[in-house]
Amino acid sequence: MTPTLQVEDLSGGQRQAVAIARSLLRAKKALLLDEPTAALGPRQSDLVCEAIKAVASKGIALLVVSHDLERMLTTATRIAVLHRGRIAMDQPASGLTIRDIVSAMMGRHAETAGA
């Protein structure tokens, strides 16, 4: 993207990246992001995740809803999973695996869930 492009000239994924960047720049205390990388390519998704980490490092609370489990394992500091309206898992991301998260999503107790 070049700074002279108009938003209406951008692709859908580029527009989403701009909207996320605006939200991250304006965040004061907390920000909720719902599927922020859903319509983005790998490179744009990586940039969004790096921006999320940078904003979080400034003490701003971020709640990210995402189906991209691999990317969230490397971006989030904490993972929470809801199953049937209840918290099935809520723990630090470090040490978790995709299998742990999927087990919690399915209502099964993974060996490391809740540890």
Domain boundaries, the chain: 7-66, 77-115
Tell me what percent of the residues of the chain surpass a pLDDT of 90.
Answer: 51
Q: Rounded mean pLDDT of 58-81?
A: 94
CATH number, domain 7-66:
3.40.50.300
Please say if the pLDDT value at position 113 is more than 50: no
More confident residue, 64 or 39: 64
The per-residue pLDDT for 2 is 64
Residue pair 48/75 in contact by the 8 Å Cβ criterion: no
Round to whole Å and give the CA distance between 48 and 58.
Answer: 16
pLDDT tier, 3 (very low <50, low <70, confident <90, very high otherwise): low
Query: Which H or E run includes 100?
Result: helix 98-105
Please say if the pLDDT value at position 48 is more than 80: yes
Round to whole Å and give the CA distance between 76 and 78.
Answer: 5
